[in-house]
Each structure stands twice: as C-alpha cells, then as structure tokens.
Structure 1
Amino acid sequence: MRTPAALLAGLLVAAVAATGPATATVPAGSPRHTPVAAQSLTWGVAPSSPDGPNGRPAFEYKLDPGATLTDYVAITNHSDQPITLDVYASDAFTTEQGGFDLLPATGEPVDVGSWVTFESRTFTVPSTSRLDVPFTIAVPDNATPGDHPGGIVASLAATGTDAQGNQVAVDHRVGSRIYLRVTGELQPGLDMVDLSTTYDGTWNPIGGGTVTTSFTVRNTGNVRLTGRPQLTVTGPFGLAGRSVAADPLPEILPGDSFRTTIRVDGVPPMFRLGARLTLAPTAVTDEVLDPAPATVTREVGLWAVPWSQLVILLVVALAGWLAAARRRRARRRRAAQLERAVAAAREQGRAEAARDRAVTDANHEKTTQGT
C-alpha cells in the first residue's frame, strides 16, 4: 500500500536520487515509534559525506569479502518543525510490477541490509536542517560474489484511516539505493520459464490474429540485468514470418523474477504456427559483462485454425453442392421429359402405322371385291 503522503515524501527526494517512498501499515501504537500526523512533515535521504551531499545518485560500492568502510547519508528535514525518524538499512527486491523496493519495516534483512550498522536507530533532525549520519558497511568473509542491492531508509509512522474508517499507523519511508558488488567471479544470466502462448483469431477472412506469449524472466545469476525480449512467429516452412521486440525489461535483481507479455498482431491463421522467443541479457549500466551472459531462446508450437476461412469454404462448398444438385435434378427432369416425349412419339408412330395398315388392308379388300 502506497499512500499520498508517502508519494509526496518521495517526490521531495527525487532530485537527490532517493529510491522513492515505500509504506507499510503497522498496528497503531507500535513500540517502534509513536505515530504522528505526517501531512506537514517532509524529508529527504541522499548519499553524503562529512561535509554534505556529494551528488552521488546511489550508494555504489565494489568491495572484497571481509572489507569494511564508513560512509555518510544525508537526512534533510524540509519541514518547519523537528522530526524524529527511524533510520536503518534493508534488502531490496524486484516487485511484481518490475519496480525496485525494500523489505517492509517488519522484515529482517539477511543480505546487504544486515551488513550496514548505525550508531543509533533513531535520529531527530531540527526544522529545515540536515544531518550527515555516518554508517559502517562490513562485508562478511563468506559473502558471495556479485551484486547485493539494498537501501538506506528514513521512516516515520503517521496516523491514518483504513477503508473501514479505522485508525491505523502508516509507515512512510524515504530512502536511497545501495548497489554493492562483492568481488569475485560474475555469473550473469537470465532464464525464461512458465511460457504460455495462445492464438486469438479474427472473423475477418482477410485479417490476421494475435499471438500472445506470457512468460517469467528469472535472474539466475549474481548480477542485476535487463534485456529486450523478441517474439518471432512463422507459419509452416517459415512462411508469413512476423517479429516484435518488446519494451526493455526493468532491472531484475539476482534471484528475483518478472512476468511479462509480448503480442504479435496480424498473424495469418495457417493451422500450425511456430513461436520463437529470444532474450539477450544486458547490464543495467554501461559496463561490459565478462563473461557475457548467454542469449536465451524458447520455441513453442501452436494451432491457428482459420475458422472464418473454413466457414467461407464450407458455405462455398455447400453452395456448389446445392448448385450441382439442382443441375442434376434439372438433367434428370429433362431426361425424363425426353424419354416421355420419345415414348409418346413411338406410340404415336405405332398408332399411325396401325391406321396406315388398316387403310391399306381396306383398299386391298375393295380392289379384290371389284375384280
């Protein structure tokens, strides 16, 4: 749940590259700190030095296992009254929407968030003032190589109401990201799993349908990565190929995943289609990864039955059959009529022949009598 007050706090620190607000609802009267009204309180968090912010967009480090260093975070109170904040570090994860977020306040960090320590958990910042707070990062001796993302948070519990009108405490958090890379062998890699591919046709006989592929991209390596999936759809023997490149993936942290969808329109129904999904992982920054991550390819087959064309073909075939049937019936009627006409002519001919014989016989008899 993200509240308008938390979003306002995030806007105040956008210029100093804070991670943006994250909120968590906790029971009113939590022992962590007493809820207060936060509408008039605004604050920011940014990487700093003993002398103040130094323009860094995030806390970025490359350290060996067992290394220790001290750094500073600037906590600025933009309000006209003092503010007491909870300041701590936590681990990051990739949200279902592809965003960068930190564990909730009640979550216990087990990675970089647990490597950061402050002299105190709570700091009071005077009105319109800034504190440059030191902290220590101690990388464990057994820390695994690769990226360990997290963040430093300054939070304030404020009172609010839920959908039922009950009073609750909302944890407003503002923070700045930590990108810590532990030296050692990098193993960048993405995988694509849980593919679901469908074909949605159209009743337009001259139109094409849509191939939709949904899949989950999983970061199987130890480096945060992105990439741009591409879907290619072809008919039998590679006919009528169409290809679409999706929007670039968000930053996917090691061990996390992100589900997305690609659609290819105008695909003609050719009974059997082949869908080829490819993804070349790339670094989030401009760095050149060594070794380079392998391109991932997945292929699936799917049916694309041309129902509208089949219906038209069936109608045409039925019309042709009916026309042929009518022609056959007409031919049979004409044949029957001709047969009746021939029979009538024969009967008439026999009748006329009989009359002619009768006349001939009568004439012959008269001639015989006359002689």
Structure 2
Amino acid sequence: MPPIPGRRGPRRLGAALRTTALLTAALLAAAPYGAPAAADEPPAPAWTAAPAGARPGPARPYFYLAGPAGTVLEDRLALDNPGDREHTVTLRGADADNAPDGALAVRPAAPGASGAGSWISFGGSATVKLPPRTRAVVPFTVTVPPAAPPGDHPAAVVATGPGRETGVRIHLRVGGPAVAALTVEDVSVRGHGAATTVDYTLVNRGNVTLTPELALRAEGTLHEPSGRPARALPVELLPGRRARLSEPWPDAPALDRVALTLTATAPGAAPATAEAEAWLAPGGTAGLAAGALLALAGTALAALLLVRARRTRRLRRAAGGLPAGAPAQEDAAANEHEHEHAHELTGAPR
C-alpha cells in the first residue's frame, strides 16, 4: 500500500517535540534549584564583631576612648551569630601598627607586651559561646597606667573563632600635650617614562595619628618637568611608625637630570621636605651606563685614529728622505702663519 502523502512530516515533528521535552526535563532535573551565586561573591561570615551601639542607630566603625593617665575606661563589643550553628569566639587586646606599606595591621600576641593592647581586659568573658541566631554584648575595660605618656595609643580588640579572625580598632587618646611631627626620608627614583615612580619614607615623630598629604616639585637641566600638587595619601600613620610609599610620576621627562623636592604636610604638623637628584634616561641606570660606555668608546676610537694618522705621516716623511723629526713643508708654513698672527696679536714689530 503506498504511503499516504503528508503523514511523514507530522510524525517527524512529533518525534522531535518529544525528544526536546525529554532533554528539557533532564536539564531541569540536573540544574540546582534557584539562581546560582556569583563566583566572585565571598560567602557571608558565620559571625561578626563590632562596637556595640544603641539600636536603632548608626553603627560605630571603631571604638573611641579618651581620658587622663591612671583612669579606667569602659566600652562594649557586640558579637552576632546569624547562622544556625553554635560558635565559640575568644577575645584579646592587641596593639595596632602600620605595615611597611602603611596599611593598618595588628601586632601578634607577645608575652610581656606593655602597649595599649595589654591595657584591655574582658574579665571572665574572654571566651564567648554564640548560640544560633544570637547576639552577645561583651563589656571590656581599658586601664590606662598612671605613667602613660600623652597622645594616641592605637589598639584593637581581636576576636578569633571558627574560620576567621577579625580586629576592631580602638582610638585611645591619653590626655596631655598633643605633638604632630612628620619627616620625609630616603627619596629615590625608579622606572622610566610613564612608569617613573618616586619612592620615599614617611616617619611620624609625634604622639598623634597623622593623615598626611604629599606634593612633588621637579627642576630639570634640559626641560621644565611638571611636578605633582599636594594630594591626600591613603594612609593613617600611627605615632612612632614609618611607612615606605611610592608616588607615580607618569609625566617625568624621558632624558634629563632632575632635582626633586618632596613636601609632606599633616594637620597640626610643620611641613617636611626632602630633596634628591636623579638622572632620567631610557633604560634607567642601564641606559645611562650604556651611554657613558658609548661616549668612552667614541673618545678612545678618536684617539686611536689620531695616533694612526700621526704614525702614517711620520712614515711618509721617512720614505721621502726627510728626517723623522723634520717638519713637513705644510707644517712649516702653518708655523710661520701662526707666528705672524702671534706678532699681530701682541703688537711686536715684524
């Protein structure tokens, strides 16, 4: 029996639809429920630590405590556990510090430490158990020694628990004269062209925390290079600390000898300056060395050619029957011409 026209098309279409439906169902079964989280999104912390504050109200970013030497200051730390598992958190005091690049850091615990971190006490609450979905408020005290010098004593409360350790800063100021003092040291230049960088060290020689600004002025031998106006630096420099920083100088001249002047300022502190000289050339120091070697090679080559020319002239004189030390005719004429001009310059009779 011959096939009925038009029957094969619908059959193929129905089979394709059934296959598509089966594949879709398989993909939906394999896919996780809900939208996937972004790959670069960090997981939410299991617990948090922050200064306790009245609710509702803005959260405090850090603790700020102030008082005279010999006083006892009090504050409270809030620990939040939003998850469904219990966590145990231990608390300790620590000294705050600047990392070598100026970033704020916390000094590791050390026996016998006498900084502001050792003034912090949690009494019997240094270990806290956080049940699920619970907030605990932990009081602590800061006992300032009677002989504590005036000024800022940066410290932190460090909370350590499962999977993380976090520090909450304490701005602690002991009453008395506040001295703001800043210096700039160890200025050097590296790189070339748009990658030129000025390195320097800032030192806080006072007793209060500083937020410095820096300006750069340059004077060139061949050019008039532009400097950099004063701008705020992304660093809080703690008392007695130093930081090694870098200042980009993308519009530095490609080839020149420059004199740099760096000026650092901070609220309450006198401006601090430092000067340095540097050669700027393609390839940096290697480029300068290569240029010097080329100049030396050129001088040596010129001297060699001059010696060879004199030697060739002496050989030609000897071949022509003249004594080796006798002057050539053109040399005698030149000498006579020089004597004439010498007489004319001195005014002696001819």
Match runs of 1:28-39 below 5 Å: none
Counterpart-to-counterpart distance in 1, 2:104 and 2:271: 24
CA contact (8 A) 2:49 2:78 kept: yes
User: Contact 1:145–1:185 at 8 Å: present in 2 too?
Assistant: yes
Q: 1:315-359 CA deviation, whole Å, 9 max, x = no partner?
A: xxxxxxxxxxxxxxxxxxxxxxxxxxxxxxxxxxxxxxxxxxxxx
2:129 corresponds to 1:155: no
TM-score, normalization by structure 1 = 0.58
**Paired position in structure 1 for 2:167:** 175
RMSD: 3.3
Question: Within 1, Cα distance between the matches of 2:53 and 2:224?
Answer: 60
Query: Match of 1:347?
Result: none
2:277 match: 301
**Aligned 1:239-258 pairs, distance under 5 A:** 240-245=224-229, 248-258=233-243
Q: 1:243 to 1:220 in 2, by over 3 A?
A: same
Match of 1:216 in 2: 201
What residue identity is the alignment partner of 1:178? I
Q: CA deviation at 1:80?
A: 0.8
TM-fit CA distance, 1:96: 2.7
Residue 302 of structure 1, CA deviation:
2.5
* 1:51–1:247 Cα change, 3 Å: closer
1-structure distance, mates of 2:68, 2:150: 9
Deviations 1:264-291 (A, max 9, x none): 3344467532111111124xxxxxxxxx
1:257 Cα offset (Å): 1.7
Task: Using the TM superposition, give the Cα deviation of residue 247 of structure 1 relative to its aligned residue in structure 2, in angstroms.
Answer: 5.9
Write the distance in 2 (CA, Å) between the matches of 1:235 and 1:46.
Answer: 52
Instruction: Say if 1:69 and 1:8 are closer, same or farther in 2 by CA, change over 3 A.
Output: farther
User: Residues 96 and 231 from structure 1, CA distance in 2 versus in 1: closer, same or farther, beyond 3 angstroms?
Assistant: same
Instruction: Pick the structure with more strand per residue.
Output: 1
Deviation at 1:295, TM superposition (A): 0.7
TM-fit CA distance, 1:297: 0.7
SS for the counterpart of 1:262 is strand
* Aligned counterpart, 2:78: 74
The answer as to 2:104 corresponding to 1:100 is yes
Q: What SS is found at the alignment partner of 1:295?
A: strand
Query: Identity over the aligned pairs, expressed in percent?
Result: 30
Partners of 2:87 and 2:131 within 8 A in 1: yes
Q: 1:187 is paired with a residue of what secondary structure?
A: coil
Decide whether the 8 Å contact of 2:103 with 2:235 is kept in 1: yes
Q: C-alpha distance in 2, partners of 1:261/1:80?
A: 46
Match of 2:130?
125
Q: 1:43 to 1:52 in 2, by over 3 A?
A: farther
**Residue correspondences, number:** 247
Counterpart secondary structure, 1:89: strand
Encode CA deviations 1:41-64: one digit per residue, 9 max, x unaligned. Answer: x11111125989873221101211
Q: Give the match for residue 331 of structure 1.
A: none
Partner residue of 1:231 out of 208, 216, 228: 216
User: What's the CA shift for 1:146?
Assistant: 0.9
The DSSP-based 3-state class of the residue aligned with 2:95 is strand
Kept in 2, the 8 Å contact 1:149–1:179? The answer is yes
1:1-371 matches, within 5 Å, as 12=45, 42-48=46-52, 55-105=59-109, 109-120=113-124, 121-156=126-161, 172-198=164-190, 200=192, 211-236=196-221, 240-245=224-229, 248-268=233-253, 271-282=256-267, 292-304=268-280
Deviations 1:233-264 (A, max 9, x none): 11249x51311246614111112221112233
Question: SS of the residue aligned with 2:270?
Answer: coil
Do the aligned residues in 2 keep the contact of 1:90 with 1:109 (CA within 8 Å)? no
SS at match of 1:265: coil
Mind listing any 5+ residue stretches in structure 1 that lack a counterpart? 1-6, 13-41, 159-171, 201-207, 283-291, 315-371
